[in-house]
Structure 1
Amino acid sequence: MGSLSKAAVTRAAVTVTAVTLAASGCGILGDGSSRNLDVISVSSPRFRDGAPLPHDYSCEGKLGNPPLRWSGTSGAKSVALVVDDSNPRTGSEVHWVVFDIDPNTTELGESDVPRGVGGGFARQGRTTAGKVGYTAPCQAEGSYRFTVYALNAKLDLKQGASLAETLDGIAAHTIARGRLTAATIG
């Protein structure tokens, strides 16, 4: 590996995966095929699409993740949520990955992890920073995307699965997708 650390190589691999998936026309995730994905409607009672993310949900706030609501996941075997940003200076960063969400779940509470397939809580994967759980965004510039994916299978990955593993699993099983975007941090 030369002088690159394992963490630097992992970060580079995840960035390449995210950029490749974004270039496929499917947002950060999607299998890149020509099939059309169904659309999921995603909203929040705390901010509208294109509006700033309320400061309380940033790294300087105290509320954790914002509440979300979605519809359009009927027929899914599980649901996944990815929170990422598109910062022109630092590149894309994944702030949260939640997978194996019960497909009957239609909302996520503030500072909450939704119910999982088969009961209990959904599982969380590692972020770009290598942490498990919601990592609140800090950069005032760029946009923050809250993307919900309907999947045709349960991923069956372990809590704390690597970012590459979870992104690949979500991309391979996506049948519908919807996004709510915060333009900046307010």
Structure 2
Amino acid sequence: MQVISSAFENGGVIPSRYTCDGENISIPLEFIDVPANTKSLAVIMDDPDAPMGVFVHWVMYDIPASIKELPAGIPQAPVLEYGIKQGINDFGTIGYGGPCPPNGAHRYYIKVYALDTLPDLKPGLTKMQLLQAIEPYIIDEGVLMGIYER
């Protein structure tokens, strides 16, 4: 499975529009070669280069497998159209929180998990709670990595 974005190439620079220095809107994503038996998708975006350890920027799940892309600017709401749920990021808010590194270049990993079930989880989960809930159901994953420097 592949994850791509119209905003930047894998390993490329994330445009400031999607960061705390710009509009701070979510990055548009497209899912390619999703396994046929996928029932739902989950998305986690984090920064392993944060000074205090891995910093979580986005937790989204219960995305129906029929959804092949997410537009830019997903609302910061716990429950979205089609029953999609969002969790809590390390800024302490629901939904997307863009890159905002204190210094230097940081890598941001957007991991998309294909699941063989639609777990119908409650909104507001943390990254760890989500991973615990979906771990037995992961059948594939794709990663998109972008870099941002302030």
TM-score normalized by structure 2? Answer: 0.85
Shift of 1:155: 2.1
Larger radius of gyration: 1
Letter in 2 for 1:168: Q
Residue aligning to 2:6: 45
Partner of 2:82, secondary structure, is: coil
Per-residue CA deviations over 1:82-109 (Å, capped at 9, x if unaligned) read: 1111115332111111100010111110
Letter in 1 for 2:148: T
How far apart, in 2, do the equivalents of 1:97 and 1:112 lie?
Answer: 12
How far apart, in 2, do the equivalents of 1:90 and 1:147 lie?
Answer: 20
Number of residues paired by the alignment? 142
2:63 is equivalent to residue 101 of structure 1 = yes
Residue aligning to 1:70: 31
Of 144, 149, 157, 2:121 maps to 157
Structure 1: 5+ residue runs without aligned partners?
1-39, 114-118
Shift of 1:121: 4.0
How far apart, in 2, do the equivalents of 1:59 and 1:121 lie?
Answer: 27
Residue aligning to 1:141: 105
Contact 1:46 1:66 in 2 (8 A): yes
Structure 1 residue ranges, 4+ long, deviating more than 3 angstroms after superposition = none
Q: Cα distance 1:122–1:143, how it changes in 2: closer, same or farther (>3 A)?
A: same
TM-score normalized by structure 1? Answer: 0.70
Letter in 1 for 2:139: I
RMSD: 1.8
1:1-186 map, 5 Å = 40-73=1-34, 74-87=36-49, 89-112=51-74, 120-139=82-101, 140-185=104-149
Higher helix share: 1
Per-residue CA deviations over 1:113-141 (Å, capped at 9, x if unaligned) read: 6xxxxx63410111233321111110152
Letter in 1 for 2:138: T
Partner of 2:74, secondary structure, is: coil
Q: 1 or 2 for the larger relative contact order (CA 8 Å, sep ≥6)?
A: 2
How far apart, in 2, do the equivalents of 1:92 and 1:107 lie?
Answer: 26
Partner of 2:44, secondary structure, is: strand
How far apart, in 1, do the equivalents of 2:7 and 2:105 lie?
Answer: 19
Q: Cα distance 1:148–1:107, how it changes in 2: closer, same or farther (>3 A)?
A: same
Shift of 1:76: 0.7
